[in-house]
A and B are shown apart, each in its own frame.
Chain A
């Protein structure tokens, strides 16, 4: 009996690769016997059932993978939105919770310019600090001031903050020299480079009485000389001060 369902047989052959006839037949489309065809069909059925179960498992795994990926996508989108909101807020453009956050493509150029601006500000700050230090050092040297003491007094009296604010002014050099000159006038202790020898004993001076001004000398003195003599104590005898 010839196998009449030739198309079904071809289909089975395609689904189940291999020799259905056990390698005895040279033409796979031509089963030798009906039993052989039944046997091949039963094998094909079992193979089909295995393939079906494998396909179901694969579909199940694929479904799990899809769900997992979707979960990751949703999670990533939420974290990205939080990050975008935060970055936008840091850039000075806060986003409301119910509003759509800006995309990263929009944020990147703004972030870049902000970072560059911060760098420029930082560099400007360094330049200002350097300029302040240089001008102060030059002025300390020019005015023969003790650098550490003068710097400390500038800080304690609040001059340093004012000078830091004035660094960009065109007359900054004049401001520094004026401030330091006034400081030296009000506080003579800051004068002197501090590198020279320090006197540990009182300087030798002639007795005060030897320098006292007499009536005759007073009469011949100019007002400025009298003023100086008064401040230096040379008029004490004339004034009855013991």
Chain B
């Protein structure tokens, strides 16, 4: 069996994460275009990372071989190239990392009930019901809301809207987290909610942070292609 080439070895570093990303992409049906758009941006960024290292390494090789330019000039270009690639390989993964909480937040938005399409008269009735139900429970507004959330989609839609934000104030994040936990455990909901629930489970399994790290390592591995072998470690 032939030994794998350097490029094949580097590609193998990202193979597993690429498969996980493909599996996760398959779950992003019916979850909304915003999620799909963010994921496309994320995967495009990841796909570009190994190419950055590969192209930079090829440029360095070309500079070394180009005797038509003075050595000092080539060394300066090499340093500039390394410096630029280093900055890009720090900032681009950071942007990819920023996409992950955005994706999670968007999927959670899809998982939670939404009152945007409900008639205003119905919303008013739901708010009255919610107010009555909350007043029947002891504790602060947040405690009342936490006892109620996850029981009735119409009430949850109101609790998680601006109305709920006005009710619980700064504790809205805690209420939302509670609602996400309850709705993750449920099985019902609209098609978008069901798809978002599956995608959220897939997001955990996809390990997007690991995929970013794998692709960055692949890019850096390309950069070390023509580095001298490390000194043999003394026993």
Q: Tell whether, in the assembled complex, residue B192 and residue A226 are in contact, meaning their CB atoms are under 8 Å apart.
A: no
Q: Tell whether, in the assembled complex, residue B88 and residue A230 are in contact, meaning their CB atoms are under 8 Å apart.
A: yes
Q: List chain A residues, Cβ under 8 A from B34.
A: 181
Interface status of B2 (Cβ within 8 A of chain A): no
Interface status of B12 (Cβ within 8 A of chain A): no
Q: List chain B residues, Cβ under 8 A from A218.
A: 84, 87-88
6 shortest interchain CB distances as A-B pairs? A240-B59, A181-B33, A238-B84, A227-B95, A223-B95, A223-B94
Query: Which of B37-45, B141-149, B160-168, B202-210 lies at the binding interface?
Result: B37-45
Q: Tell whether, in the assembled complex, residue A239 and residue B191 are in contact, meaning their CB atoms are under 8 Å apart.
A: no
Interface status of A171 (Cβ within 8 A of chain B): yes
Q: List chain B residues, Cβ under 8 A from A240.
A: 55-56, 58-60, 62-63, 81
Interface centre among B41, B84, B94 (most CB of A within 10 A): B84
Nearest CB of chain B from residue A190's CB, rounded to whole Å:
12
Query: Which of A11-19, A31-39, A131-139, A172-180 lies at the binding interface?
Result: A172-180
Q: List chain A residues, Cβ under 8 A from B63.
A: 240
Query: Which of B13-21, B24-32, B173-181 lies at the binding interface?
Result: B24-32
Nearest CB of chain B from residue A178's CB, rounded to whole Å:
6
Interface status of B83 (Cβ within 8 A of chain A): yes
User: Could you name 8 residue pairs across A and B whose Cβ atoms are closer than 8 Å?
Assistant: A175-B191, A181-B34, A182-B33, A182-B36, A223-B98, A227-B45, A231-B45, A235-B84
Interchain CA distance A237-B68 in the complex, whole Å: 20
The 8 Å CB contact of A178, one of B31, B85, B95, is B31
Q: Tell whether, in the assembled complex, residue A215 and residue B191 are in contact, meaning their CB atoms are under 8 Å apart.
A: no
Nearest CB of chain B from residue A230's CB, rounded to whole Å:
6
Contacts between chains A and B (CB distance < 8 A), count: 98
The 8 Å CB contact of B55, one of A185, A215, A239, is A239
Interface residue range, chain B: 35 or more
Interface centre among A166, A219, A227, A241 (most CB of B within 10 A): A227
The 8 Å CB contact of B91, one of A166, A179, A181, A226, is A226
Q: Tell whether, in the assembled complex, residue A186 and residue B85 are in contact, meaning their CB atoms are under 8 Å apart.
A: no
Interface status of A184 (Cβ within 8 A of chain B): yes
A residues 151-199 near B (Cβ < 8 Å) are 166, 169-171, 173-175, 178-179, 181-182, 184-186
Q: List chain A residues, Cβ under 8 A from B41.
A: 227, 231
Nearest CB of chain A from residue B173's CB, rounded to whole Å:
23
Residues of B within 8 A of A (CB): 29-34, 36-37, 40-41, 44-45, 48, 52, 55-56, 58-60, 62-63, 80-81, 83-85, 87-88, 91-92, 94-96, 98, 117, 190-192
Q: Tell whether, in the assembled complex, residue A178 and residue B59 are in contact, meaning their CB atoms are under 8 Å apart.
A: no
Nearest CB of chain A from residue B37's CB, rounded to whole Å:
5
Q: Tell whether, in the assembled complex, residue B87 and residue A185 are in contact, meaning their CB atoms are under 8 Å apart.
A: no
Nearest CB of chain A from residue B154's CB, rounded to whole Å:
12
Q: List chain B residues, Cβ under 8 A from A100.
A: none
Interface status of A221 (Cβ within 8 A of chain B): yes
Nearest CB of chain B from residue A219's CB, rounded to whole Å:
6
The 8 Å CB contact of A241, one of B36, B40, B55, B98, is B55
Q: List chain B residues, Cβ under 8 A from A171.
A: 190-192
Q: Tell whether, in the assembled complex, residue A221 and residue B91 are in contact, meaning their CB atoms are under 8 Å apart.
A: yes
Interchain CA distance A186-B91 in the complex, whole Å: 27
Q: List chain B residues, Cβ under 8 A from A105.
A: none
Given contact pairs A185-B40, A235-B88, A239-B88, A226 touches B95 in the complex (Cβ within 8 A): yes
Q: Tell whether, in the assembled complex, residue A178 and residue B33 are in contact, meaning their CB atoms are under 8 Å apart.
A: yes
Nearest CB of chain B from residue A193's CB, rounded to whole Å:
18
Name which residue of chain B comes closest to A236, CB basis.
B55
Q: Tell whether, in the assembled complex, residue B33 and residue A184 are in contact, meaning their CB atoms are under 8 Å apart.
A: yes
Q: List chain A residues, Cβ under 8 A from B190.
A: 169-171, 174-175
